[in-house]
């Protein structure tokens, strides 16, 4: 049993607490919100409460999860890395490239792990889709379309492009590992200042010098929760439900639909278990697992989409 700190125990952080307990870890929590601490303690009475400084100074706490707001990621993560803690940092790695570079440098300088929460790299339906694509089951790939939607409350501190767009962009990078170009974006805020609906499209140039068109729809206005990826190939089309972890393979000519068997997995637990196991050997395998360099590359694409948002120009 290891001592693991969870910094930020709101909506997502409390999930980390739950999974660490299921993985038989000794969990110490930290949050500025007394209400969040109260809710977490009521649900998990074994957790210990400390402030951030105490977690940083406790040498028995070797690993931390950071589940705070995006704008605090750099400040908290840098302090943890300097304190020689292995860090699991929820996405995005930071809100700018300069801070991402600094975090990567700190992890290397202090010889500790920096893993970023690109959770779909652990999703069995996405991993199966990558296998089918790499085995040329679809033929040549023409396009990839994402629909990433759900209804959210008004956020005053974030926009959907950086907060939600990270995931489909990361899935594309994980599957195709190509260069991107011609990125375009349109995003709007209807109830808030920042974008809560956006369309992103760009082109991937694969290592075989083939072009793939990517189209991403993001919405915090649609009450239907959807995490769907459709990959269109020259021979077959792949439809992936990333939430329910279901895959359909459709023959383009006969229209025959083959349901691909998937053993669904607990992606949060699997990524945290990978983090804990990596910390024991002090080695985080590079690709396809989300180290700092991979997370920085994904951030760069998404930030470029924000820059290219023609409705903000």
- Side by side, which strands form the sheet with 3-7? 48-49, 26-30, 3-7, 61-66, 86-90, 114-117
* Structure tokens given for 278: 């990596």
Question: 122-140 pLDDT, tens per residue?
Answer: 999 999 999 999 999 999 9
CA distance 309 to 297: 19
Q: Hey, what domains does the chain have and what are their CATH numbers?
A: 3-119+267-289 (3.40.50.720), 121-265+301-307 (3.30.360.10)
| CA gap 271, 115 in Å, rounded | 9
Alpha-carbon span 47 to 65, nearest angstrom: 14
Quote the pLDDT of residue 285. 55
pTM of the model: 0.94
Q: Is 189 helix (H, G, I), strand (E, B) or coil?
A: coil
Instruction: Judge whether residue 181 has pLDDT over 60.
Output: yes
45-77 pLDDT, tens per residue?
A: 999 999 999 999 999 999 999 999 999 999 999
CA distance 22 to 243: 21
Instruction: Express the helix, strand and coil content of the chain in percent, nearest 5 each.
Output: 35, 30, 35
């Amino acid at each position: 049993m290891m001592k693991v700190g969870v910094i930020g125990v709101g909506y997502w952080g409390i999930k980390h607490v739950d999974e660490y307990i299921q993985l038989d870890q000794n969990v110490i929590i930290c949050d500025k919100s007394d209400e969040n601490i109260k809710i977490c303690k009521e649900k998990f009475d074994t957790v210990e409460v400390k402030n951030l400084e105490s977690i940083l100074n406790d040498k028995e706490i070797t690993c931390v999860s950071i589940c705070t707001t995006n704008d605090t990621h750099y400040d908290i993560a840098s302090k943890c890395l300097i304190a020689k803690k292995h860090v699991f940092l929820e996405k995005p790695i930071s809100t700018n490239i300069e801070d991402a570079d600094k975090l990567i440098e700190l992890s290397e300088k202090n010889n500790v792990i920096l893993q970023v929460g690109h959770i779909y790299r652990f999703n069995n339906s996405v991993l199966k889709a990558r296998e089918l694509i790499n085995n040329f089951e679809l033929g040549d790939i023409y396009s990839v379309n994402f629909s990433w939607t759900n209804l959210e409350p008004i956020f005053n501190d974030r926009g959907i492009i950086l907060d939600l767009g990270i995931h489909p962009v990361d899935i594309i990078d994980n599957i195709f590992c190509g260069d991107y170009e011609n990125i375009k974006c349109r995003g709007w805020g209807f109830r808030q200042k920042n974008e809560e609906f956006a369309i992103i499209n760009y082109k991937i140039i694969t290592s075989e010098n083939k072009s793939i068109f990517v189209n991403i729809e993001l919405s915090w206005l649609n009450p239907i929760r959807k995490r769907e990826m459709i990959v269109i190939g020259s021979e077959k089309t792949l439809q992936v439900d990333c939430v329910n972890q279901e895959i359909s393979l459709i023959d383009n000519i006969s229209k025959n639909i083959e349901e691909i068997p998937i053993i669904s997995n607990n992606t949060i637990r699997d990524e945290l278990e990978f983090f804990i196991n990596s910390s024991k050997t002090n080695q985080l395998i590079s690709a396809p697992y989300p180290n700092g360099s991979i997370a920085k590359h994904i951030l760069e694409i998404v930030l470029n989409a924000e820059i290219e948002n023609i409705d903000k120009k």
